[in-house]
């Protein structure tokens, strides 16, 4: 018999829904994906994602306001990073189950 899931509060559900909502925009998800492995400044992130600098900056501001992304100053640059190993695991787990064409890959058990 499966173990029952722990109780979740309305606040937890609201916070999770907000995080998933933020990550539902492909540009923001791409930023989080890149920032899960390294720190980058906004110009580099714009280049890597194909966005312009103002658009990348706006997306980073939303992620930062939600606490998903942190920043630090290094000289004249601001470097961004994802500061949550839990969020990184969720994003990596999702990507692990997607083929390059965007289709879901079967679980290993089903192969």
60-107: pLDDT as tens digits: 999 999 889 999 999 999 999 998 889 999 999 999 999 999 999 877
Name, in order, each residue with C-beta under 8 angstroms of 104's C-beta and a sequence gap of 6 or more: 97, 98
Output the CATH code of domain 16-98: 1.10.10.10
Q: What span, in angstroms and rounded, lies between the C-alpha atoms of 22 and 31?
A: 11
Strand-pair partners of 104: 98
pTM of the model: 0.84
Neighbour tally for 49: CB within 10 Å:
19
Query: Phi, psi at residue 75, to the nearest 5°?
Result: 65, -125
């Amino acid at each position: 018999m499966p173990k029952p899931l722990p109780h979740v509060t309305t606040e937890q559900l609201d916070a999770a829904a907000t995080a998933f909502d933020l990550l539902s925009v492909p540009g923001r998800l791409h930023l989080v994906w890149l920032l899960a492995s390294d720190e980058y400044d906004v110009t580099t992130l714009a280049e890597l994602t194909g966005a312009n600098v103002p658009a990348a900056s706006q997306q980073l501001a939303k992620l930062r306001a939600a606490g998903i992304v942190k920043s630090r100053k290094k000289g004249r640059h601001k470097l961004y990073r994802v500061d949550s190993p839990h969020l990184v695991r969720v994003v990596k787990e999702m990507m692990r189950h997607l083929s390059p064409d965007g289709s879901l890959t079967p679980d290993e058990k089903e192969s």
